[in-house]
Amino acid sequence: MFLVIYGVAYWIIWKFIKDKFFKRGVRMQHKKTFAGIVAGLLAVVVAIALFVSVERVPVGYVGVVYSAAGVEDQTLAQGWHLLSPLKKVSKFPVSQQQIVFSDDPADYGEKEHADWSIDAPADGGMVKINLTVNYNFMPDRVVELFNRFNGMNGETLVESRIQNSIIAYVKEVTPQFSVMDIYSDKKSEVNEAITNYLNEKLQDEYGINVASALVIDVELDDTLMQKVQAKEQAKQDAEIAELEKQTAMAQAETDKVKAQADADVALIEAQAKADAATIAAEAEAESNRKIAQSITPELIQWEEAQARLEHGWVTVQGADTIVANP
């Protein structure tokens, strides 16, 4: 940093001297003045180099300032800062960062990675978990962490200690769940449990806040894979049996409805026939009644008279019945 400052100051001095004293056609008439200016400017450069350094804290970080005299309580915010050359800055990320535990390069994007995952116990076997952890350092804890961990910055602390702690804590969570929970059914609950447990442990131990821990992928050993396949097959068989049961019940209900409909139709048809027969009988009875009402003594006498003219002595027994007497 001293060299950068010195180089910038040297360029400024040279530009000034060149513009003032080395223009074409201009002669130096005041050598003492020139020497005094140069000496003064060089003194300024030396003073800056000895007593001031420039330090940049990246966006999303804070800086812990320390020197041989000790560690300052006040941290530096993001941006450029002028400091004594005797002071140094250790940086900690306070915006969200991500740790990836995976043996699949696709999970890392363009980041460098260590190709590792977490081998965790579950259901008497081992599951290989690919996991992402989103975290940040708490700004009010970074000075304490710097003192407690012998001057480690955030990156070094994560790589040397926090990553291993996360692996250990994940292994303490997974036995609470079945392999089916981790593998498929309740992965969201597993994520929540890991996130909560990491926060419980890491906040106190490392001043780390965990925003989320997400299981990306799970690989099973042979024993657990057989268990999962057996459970999946049993689940499929149960679903098929339930579907067949529902289908049979639906068919039975359909048959019942159809039978009831057929019975209703037959009843309606029988009732219609009965009603038709009743109507016909009533009509016939009405006709006979009217016929009977139409046979009067006068009609009978008239019919006898007509028959006697045609057949001789006859007896009329009804309107249409004539009995001849021998």
Query: What is the span of the domain harbouring residue 15?
Result: 2-91
Do the domain assignments include residue 289?
A: no
Same structural domain, 103 and 190:
yes
Same domain, 228 and 209: no
Task: State the average pLDDT for the chain.
Answer: 78
What is the structure's pLDDT at 88?
A: 92
Does 232 lie in the same domain as 150?
no
Judge whether 204 lies within some domain: yes
- Structural domain count of the chain: 4
pLDDT tens digit string along 29-68?
A: 555 555 555 555 555 555 555 556 788 999 999 999 998 8
Residue 81 has pLDDT above 80, yes or no: yes
- Report CA-CA distances (Å) from 37 to 7, 9, 29, 33, 188: 18, 14, 14, 6, 72
Choose the final residue of a domain: 69, 91, 113. 91
Please indicate, yes or no, if residue 288 is contained in any of the structural domains. no
Task: Mark whether 316 and 230 lie in a shared domain.
Answer: no
Interval 320-324 mean pLDDT: 53
Q: What is the pTM of this model?
A: 0.57
Q: How confident is the model at residue 163 (pLDDT cuts 50, 70, 90)?
A: very high
